[in-house]
Amino acid sequence: MWLQIALSLAVGVAAWQSAVSFSDIPSYVLPAPKSVLAALLDGISQSPLVRSSFWFHLFDTLKATVSGFAIGASIGLVLAAFMAEFRVVENAALPYVVGLQSLPKVAIAPLLVIWLGYGSESKVAMAAVLTLFPVLINGLQGFRSSARDRLEMMAALKASRWQTFRHIKLPGALPMIFAGLHIGIVYAMLGTIVSEFTGAQRGMGVIMMQLQTVSDTAGVFAALVLLGFTGYVLISTMRLLQRRLVFWAENGDQTRGI
């Protein structure tokens, strides 16, 4: 398998290189692989304390992504649980959920900058908002889809609402919850980057805008490679957590192949 992956990557890079070599696409449109590699090595070899270092920005992006994800996922899960358990909560929350769901949520990024400023708060908020919805929707479906015979087994034991939730609904919802969390972590990074484009002092989005203004396309590509790798690490971490917690599900790895 690894051989095939390596081979596929080699073919891709070779095609890219020949596209650059055998055509007259200017390097500010499509830089050569080797200049992207050079920009990447330059960006990651600098001290993390320097503003031109990728680490300086990546660390900030990562911090906002993870905090935003944690906040959004927590709110989403708690809200989903209360909506699933109490009709009053569901009816109260439904107009907002439906209304906000049809809104392209990244469009509120400028508003968040106005409210929270150019610091990390607006980034975290954007990441949290984007994480919240997929986690909420998937969680809600998960909590609702408990098998009837399991609920009857608990009813026969006169189990309380909390006991039924804790022993049946919550563990049973985990595969769906993880499906939501997988989307959530990707969206959290998306939200952070968009927020950094809109207005921030640090972050991968900020350095990409700077590189773009000086037409350093190779630098932009290098930043993208680094972001892609970071996303991969985040998703892999999530998958590891899922394998530990949802080892029992027949199709535990629902997001395989993404």
Partner 1 sequence: MRDTPAPGMAAEPLVRVSALSKRYATQAGEDIHALEDVSIDLVDGEFVAVLGPSGCGKTTLLKILAGIELHDHGEVLFKGKPFNGAQTGTGVVFQTPVLLPWLTVLQNVVLPIRVLGLSLPQGTARARELLELVGLKGFENKYPVELSGGMQQRAAIVRGLIHDPRILLMDEPFGALDALTRERMNVELQRIWLVNKKTVFFITHSVSEAAFLADRVIVMSPRPGTIVDEVKVPFARPRDIDLTSSADFGRLTTHLRHKLGSHESAHD
Cβ 242 to partner 1 shortest distance, Å? 13
Q: Which is nearer to partner 1, 132 or 176 (CB)?
A: 176
Find the shortest distance in angstroms from Cβ 171 to partner 1.
Answer: 5
Q: Tokens at residue 55, please?
A: 């680490």
CB of 167 to partner 1, least distance (A): 7
Site for partner 1 in 97-156 (CB under 8 A): 147, 149-150, 152-156
Contact with partner 1 (CB under 8 A) among 87, 158, 244, 256 = 158
DSSP string of 58-70, one letter each residue: HHHHHHHHHHHHH
Which single residue is written with the structure tokens 């980057």? 193
Q: CB of residue 154 vs partner 1: minimum separation in angstroms?
A: 7
Asked if 248 touches partner 1 (CB under 8 A), the answer is: yes
Q: Where do the H-state alpha helices sit in the chain?
A: 2-21, 33-45, 54-85, 87-101, 109-116, 120-144, 148-156, 161-164, 170-198, 204-213, 217-245
Of the candidate residues 38, 224, 249, 253, the single one contacting partner 1 (CB under 8 A): 249
Is residue 30 within 8 A of residue 20, CB to CB? The reply is yes
- Interface with partner 1 (CB under 8 A), residue total 19
CB-based contact 169:146 (threshold 8 Å): yes
Cα R_g (the chain), whole angstroms: 22
What is the smallest separation between the CB atom of 143 and partner 1, expressed in angstroms? 15
CA 151 to chain centre: 34
How many whole angstroms separate alpha carbon 2 and alpha carbon 22? 30
244 lies in the binding site for partner 1 (CB under 8 A)? no
- The residue from 75, 159, 224, 225 that contacts partner 1 (CB under 8 A) is 159
Q: How far is the CB of 235 from partner 1 (least distance, A)?
A: 23
- Residues 168-197 close enough to bind partner 1 by CB under 8 A: 168, 171, 174
From CA 118, how far away is CA 124, in angstroms rounded? 11
Residues that bind partner 1 (CB under 8 A): 147, 149-150, 152-159, 163, 167-168, 171, 174, 246, 248-249
